[in-house]
Amino acid sequence: MRSALFPIALLALCAQGSAPYVSNDIHCPPDLHISFVHNSYTYGAPLTHFINLIDSFFEQSWYFGTVITHTTGKYNVPGATRTGPFAGATYNETLTAYSKHADAMIMSYSGQPLTIVSPPLKFGHYLERLRFESICGGTATYIDALTYSCSDNPVAVYDLWYTVHMAAFANLSAVVGAPVLAGDCLQKSRH
């Protein structure tokens, strides 16, 4: 006969590794505009090659040279914060979700209002979700970045996030030594 605790234990096992849903949709003050940018990339290297470099909310130098000067909270636990300089301003970000499995890693965070100097932009706040997922039978990695922003110039903000994403992921793939995949999984040579 099963123990009365069996259903509870089963629920706990099923929930391990699951992250609660966190909406990245935002609402802006009347003087700012909502915008978003979505970039996706596929590279010919296993997910573990990327996870070894990106698996920390407290270490983001791979992400466009981001410098973190202060952190609070626990490593990769929602509610943790990080602060640092960016384009003449100071960013303040809070981890809103983190989920890591053998075949995927997702990290979401929110940023507080800031005004950057170059290019001159006012952000009400922003939310970003980064997803790294194993594809092609574990031989390649799919990455996507989805960023929502409140700002005074949606076109300039789109260009800024697009540039940051392109540079960050191109650099990351170079460090990993991963070629860009054009939509097909790498094929093993046949003799």
Whole-number pLDDT of residue 7: 36
2 located within any domain = no
Whole-number pLDDT of residue 22: 63
Whole-number pLDDT of residue 105: 96
Tokens standing for 76? 């990769």
pTM of the model: 0.83
101 located within any domain = yes
Which residues does the chain have with pLDDT short of 50?
1-18
169 located within any domain = yes
Condensed to tens digits (0 to 9), the pLDDT of residues 49-87 reads 999 889 899 988 888 788 999 999 999 999 999 999 988
**125: domain CATH number?**
3.30.530.20
Domain membership of residue 172 as a residue range: 32-176
Whole-number pLDDT of residue 61: 85
Whole-number pLDDT of residue 11: 37
Amino acid found at 79: G
1 located within any domain = no
Tokens standing for 54? 């990106």
Whole-number pLDDT of residue 173: 93
> Which helix H or strand E contains 54, and what residues bound it?
helix 47-54
